[in-house]
Chain A
Amino acid sequence: MSILPAIRLASVVKRFGDLTAVDHLDLEVPRGSCFGLLGPNGAGKSTTMRMLTGQAEADEGIVEVLGHRLPGASRHARAVSGVVPQVDNLDDELTVEENLAVTARLQRIPRERRQEAIARGLRIARLSERAEAATRSLSGGMRRRLLIARGLVHAPELVLLDEPTVGLDPQVRQQLWSTIAEIQAEGATVLMSTHYIEEAERLCDEVAVMHLGRVVAQGPPATLIASHVGREVLEVDGAPPTLARVEHEARSAGLRTRRSGTSVAVLDAEQLDGQAWAQGERRKPTLEDVFVVLTGEELA
């Protein structure tokens, strides 16, 4: 029974006019896992998320959420999913508590469990003290927390987080990480998109790198790193002419490089002769290196 994946996308296509936002996408998210969607701006992450709630309808392919085939059964899918959207859509005419109370009613949580749900939301948002406050009076970070809590009031089986930590201070971001760990411990499946690669590396059991509407690589972070950028990276700082020279030399040695700002990174650096390449600093490769190699784009 539980071999059924939480999310199954098979050859999914979504077009907006001439633009193909999602291009024959295949994706399976195992139950109970935390799955990360990485990709540059416009890769199709949000469009993919919206197809999982029936808010965008695929032109081709199969979309299944917890065994419910969309868009037909999207209502059943949404009842067991919690959504944290990229664009803030909190209800500004309501208070903090009312935002949660209205969501609890829209979810039709039975009357006798509504208070429990609202309390859960306030706790997750850490806004119990501000329950009566007008939503528009909250700071940006508090709004984010409420947005996240609102998606979790009904203790969903699947949580869709579209860039949940944008605009959060480091401390709150870490609190969110522990929230995500908690909901995963409750048994929920988490699908999150993010531009913070560290976040994906730390939280996700598996990540998929999207580019131009397709998955270009997928696997556990460590496996992706090992198979795409080797065991070591050499990072050289310097002026543009130095960097250009390093790039040239590395490429003639058959290695890939990555330029970012004032430094250049040479991948698979374990293959380099330590004597000739004494300059720079050797470090462990990261998921970010994989990302850049695969998509050819630096992160915003």
Chain B
Amino acid sequence: MSATTTAPDRGGSLTVGVRQRRFEPGVVAAIVYREWRVFRRVWFSTAFGSIVEPIVFFVGFGFGFGALISEVAGLSYLEFMATGTIAIGIMFSALFPGLINGYSRRTERHLYDGQLAAPVTVAEIVAGESLWNGLRVSVVAMVTVGVAFAFGVRMGPGVVFIPLIAIISGFGLCATGAAFAAKLRSWHGVDIVVGGLIAPMFVVAGTFFPLDGLPRFAELFGRVNPLYHCVELLRAAAFGGYGLWQVLGHLGAVLLFNLLAWLVAVRFVRQALID
């Protein structure tokens, strides 16, 4: 670094003395603040979706399959699929915004270009948007818990951990969406992501039926699917019956996935935004 990095600051500047480290939590907070301001005006869509979607699942899967299957992995089918429904809600409400916003904000609205002209890094933007979506899906998850209750599902006191599980899982899923968004060249690419990523993640996760009965390759895919670890954590929280090491294993898997998703997203988004 050159010897003259401290430029004489002009008295009037409002950012004199503001710290500029590699990663500033204050910037992440500013990104979350921006999302919150927008959310205050559009919350109804989120609320509507998060109430209606689980009702559809409960009526369709719960009563449809529930009539055929009495018990799965020690839970009633309704209990089993209730936690699956929470996980699906987490995935859809985190991955889609990561993907759709990631693409439109980069290409059509040039939002990130504006943000990056300030002392802001791609790592902070991805972290902020992922954290926000984690917070948002924690509410979605609790709404689903309420719907499950209305359908007769009784969860234990561990239910208080569900928002936390949702925040953590939502973060990584949003970052995953952002990573794919950075590689999209047009809206048509969304079809590839939906067919090639979202569909298998959604189905092969032990959400509506257990992984055990699947062909070997599908089962293996399921075990690296973060949604599988998410739904296992949800079951542990809601109904117990899991050992400490099992829980830590699933938690570790989700956190590891988050770290990878964030790092990859930062790399891809950076490549897409910085010439």
Which residues of B sit under 8 angstroms from A73, Cβ to Cβ?
A: 1, 5
Q: Nearest A residue to B26 by beta-carbon distance?
A: A108
Q: Once the chains bind, are B117 and A157 in contact (CB under 8 Å)? A: no
Structural contact, B8 and A1, CB atoms closer than 8 A? yes
B118 on the interface (CB 8 Å rule)?
Answer: yes
Instruction: Evaluate contact between A187 and B118: CB separation under 8 angstroms.
Output: no
Whether the pair B5, A76 counts as a contact (CB closer than 8 A) is yes
The segment out of B31-39, B83-91, B135-143 that lies at the interface is B31-39
B2 is contacted by which of A50, A57, A69, A94 (Cβ under 8 Å)? Answer: A69
Cβ of B14 and Cβ of A113 under 8 Å apart? yes
Judge whether B4 and A4 touch: CB under 8 Å.
yes
Near B by CB (< 8 A), chain A positions 193-230 give none
- The contact string, 1 if C-beta is below 8 Å from chain A, for chain B 121-132, is 100000000000
Q: Is the CB of B118 within 8 A of A106?
A: yes
CB-CB under 8 A for A91 and B6, given A109-B18, A116-B14, A154-B14: no
Q: Quick one: closest B residue to A4, CB to CB?
A: B4
**B15 CB, nearest partner CB in chain A, Å:** 5
Number of interface residues of B (CB under 8 A): 42
Closest to B38 in A: A93
Q: Is B150 an interface residue (CB 8 A)?
A: no
Among residues of A, the one whose C-beta sits closest to the C-beta of B31 is A106
B31: chain A residues within 8 A (beta carbon)? 106
Most A C-beta atoms less than 10 A away, residue of B22, B30, B38: B30
Report B-chain residues with C-beta under 8 Å of the C-beta of A150. Answer: 114
- A62 closest partner in B (C-beta): B2
Q: Given A55-B274, A187-B12, check contact A106 B120 (CB 8 Å).
A: yes
Does A173 belong to the interface (CB within 8 Å)? no
A33 at the interface (CB under 8 A from B): no
**A108 in contact with B274 given A1-B8, A94-B38, A102-B37 (CB within 8 Å):** no
A72 within 8 A of B: yes
Asked if B7 and A103 sit within 8 Å, CB to CB, the answer is no
Q: Are B15 and A94 in contact (CB under 8 A)?
A: no
Chain B residues in 8 Å Cβ range of A244: none
Are B117 and A186 in contact, with the CB atoms below 8 A?
Answer: no
With known contacts A68-B7, A94-B37, A157-B10, A108–B117 Cβ distance under 8 A: no
| Min distance, Cβ A150 to any Cβ of chain B, angstroms | 8
Within 8 A of B (CB), among A97-153: 98, 101-103, 105-110, 113, 116-117, 150-151, 153
Do the beta carbons of B13 and A155 come within 8 Å of each other?
A: yes
A68 to B2, CA, bound (A): 8
- Provide the bound-state CA to CA distance between A89 and B27, in Å: 19
A102 near B33 with CB under 8 A, answer: yes
Task: Select from chain B the residue with minimum beta-carbon distance to A97.
Answer: B37
State which residues 12-54 of A face B: CB under 8 Å. Answer: 14, 16, 47, 50, 53-54
A92 contacts B109, CB within 8 Å? Answer: yes
Cβ-defined contact, A105 with B119, below 8 A: no
Given the interface contacts A89-B109, A102-B30, A108-B30, does A155 sit within 8 Å of B118 by beta carbon?
no
Q: Using known A-B contacts A105-B30, A108-B24, determine if residue A56 contacts B275 with beta carbons closer than 8 Å.
A: yes
- Contact between B9 and A80, CB atoms less than 8 A apart: yes
Residue contact B13 to A98, C-beta cutoff 8 Å: no
Neighbour of A108 across the interface among B13, B15, B115, CB < 8 A: B15
Chain A residues within CB distance 8 Å of chain B: 1-2, 4, 14, 16, 47, 50, 53-57, 64, 66-69, 72-73, 75-76, 78-81, 83, 85, 87-94, 98, 101-103, 105-110, 113, 116-117, 150-151, 153-157, 186-188
15 pairs from A and B in contact (CB 8 Å cutoff):
A4-B4, A53-B116, A55-B117, A55-B275, A57-B274, A81-B117, A94-B37, A105-B26, A105-B34, A106-B118, A108-B15, A109-B15, A110-B14, A116-B14, A187-B10
Chain B contacts to A: CB under 8 angstroms: 1-2, 4-10, 12-15, 18-20, 22, 24, 26-27, 29-31, 33-34, 37-38, 109-111, 113-121, 273-275
| Further pairs besides A102-B37, A157-B10: 14, Cβ < 8 Å | A4-B4, A55-B275, A75-B22, A76-B5, A78-B117, A78-B118, A81-B117, A91-B34, A101-B37, A105-B29, A109-B15, A110-B18, A113-B14, A150-B114
